[in-house]
Amino acid sequence: MIILGIDPAIRTTGYGVIRADNPASFTILDCGVIANSARLPHTECLRRLAGGIRELIDSFHPDCASIEEPFLGKNASTAIILGMARGAILTALAERQIPVYAYSPRSAKRSAVGNGGATKEQVARIMAVELGIEIEQIPLDSTDAIALAVCHAQLALRPALAEKMGKPL
């Protein structure tokens, strides 16, 4: 199973693509960020986000995707911008009929590293050790996306836990 994990943001969207054959074994196929300059208008950022997701789909042919659940912050403007980014990403996934599952950041980190309050640095260190890769190969902005992909793999590949996945968005 190939899973695309996505941590959405308008300026720096993290992604992680994993291959999971069983709940205890996975391989990172790619991880990184879709970056947008602060000088770009939001419409251009959204176009670039959707295009970046389409490129990942074309390159890796994921079976499904996992994305961070939206959170309610104190700043309504930030929540609206994040919602626009999520919309562009979900549209690109829907166009290719990729089912998408949403998880909270705490649930994803707890599944990936055993601690829902882990920092990006802690997630990167644990993933690097488990996979035998250099920590420098894991951009910090992609760590939550990797955790989201691992979280979905652990639920999807364990029939007894599959009910916790919920329905695709």
Q: Which of 21, 30, 58, 68 is catalytic?
A: 68
Instruction: Name the DSSP class of 69.
Output: P
Q: Which of 7, 55, 130, 144 is catalytic?
A: 7
Exposed e or buried b per residue across 18-43, where buried means at least 16 C-beta atoms within 10 angstroms of its C-beta:
bbbeeeeebebbebbbbebeeeeeee
**Is 134 known to be catalytic?**
no
**Is 63 known to be catalytic?**
no
Q: Which of 121, 141, 144, 163 is catalytic?
A: 141
The torsion region of residue 107 among left (phi > 0), alpha (psi -120 to 50) and beta comes to: alpha
**Is 68 known to be catalytic?**
yes
User: Which residues form the catalytic set?
Assistant: 7, 68, 141
